[in-house]
Amino acid sequence: MLCIISFGQNSTSMIDGTWVGKGYQFNSNKTWSIVLTIDNGEYSIDYASIPCKSELKLLEISANRVVFEEEIRKGICVRDGIVELEIIDSNSIIYKWSFSDGKPGAIAELYKF
């Protein structure tokens, strides 16, 4: 008899912390700072150099990927984006931002210190 046990990931605790980096926006060829904060089920981004701030709503979690809906709370930024985080290791994630229609908009590598 073969028995397979699977442990599903239902928490973002694996990426809790403060992540920083520079985003690159495809349509404008510009870069900007990102500070992503994940703390005990609360998710926010500060784009200080734009300046904008957003909150994230968790949509999906898998072993190496977390997807959020982004809601801008302060500043003038593109509304209704999707943020996908691809976990590289415990100190590095890839940030991918897409328009609500799925078209890629920006990318960054973020680091946790």
Domain ranges of the chain: 14-112
The CATH number corresponding to 14-112 among 2.40.128.380, 3.20.20.70, 1.20.1440.230, 3.40.50.720 equals 2.40.128.380
Task: Name the one residue in this structure whose structure tokens are 């028995």.
Answer: 3
Residues near 49 by Cβ (< 8 Å), separated by ≥ 6? 32, 33
Tell me, what's the pLDDT at 10? 62
Tell me, what's the pLDDT at 78? 87
Q: How far apart are CA 11 and CA 13, in angstroms?
A: 5
Tell me, what's the pLDDT at 8? 44
User: 46 phi and psi, to 5 degrees?
Assistant: -115, 115
Question: Is pLDDT at 77 greater than 50 in this prediction?
Answer: yes
50 vs 80: which has the higher pLDDT: 50
Structure-derived torsion over alpha carbons of residues 87, 100, 70, 90, reported in degrees to the nearest 10: 0
Q: How much of the chain exceeds pLDDT 90, in percent? A: 79
6 vs 112: which has the higher pLDDT: 112
Average pLDDT (3-24) is 73
Average pLDDT (49-70) is 95
Confidence of residue 2 (pLDDT cuts 50, 70, 90): very low
Tell me, what's the pLDDT at 1? 35
Mean pLDDT over all residues of the chain?
A: 89
How many CB atoms are located within 10 Å of the residue 35 CB? 15
Question: Is pLDDT at 7 greater than 80 in this prediction?
Answer: no
